[in-house]
Amino acid sequence: MFWWIFVGSKGGVMRMKIVISLKDFPQNANQLAQNLGVNYRTVMHHLNILEENGIVKSEGPKYGKVYFLTDLFMKNFDLFEKITERVRRP
């Protein structure tokens, strides 16, 4: 599943950036968009995919919703790092 979400589908690189940013600290969609220099709608699209696949979870009201990495994802973070290393290699 990780391979498809981060490499096998369009937008995988953006999803990697979101995950890396959320590893540092939880953020809402506006903060992520600003920190990554992309459109709010772009971030929301990718957050929805990540949430549907159990990689992130959210808490809070609609626009103030804060996103966190799930415990299940964090238990498998080493696999994510291996995938990102393979993507970064020429």
Using one digit for the tens of pLDDT, what is the confidence trace for 15-51? 999 999 999 999 999 999 999 999 999 999 999 999 9
* Residue 1: pLDDT over 80: no
Predicted TM-score (pTM) of the model is: 0.91
Between the alpha carbon of residue 34 and those of residues 38, 41, 52, the distances in Å are: 7, 12, 23
CATH code of domain 25-88? 1.10.10.10
C-alpha angle 45-26-34 in degrees, rounded to nearest 5: 55
Task: Locate the domains of the chain by residue range.
Answer: 25-88
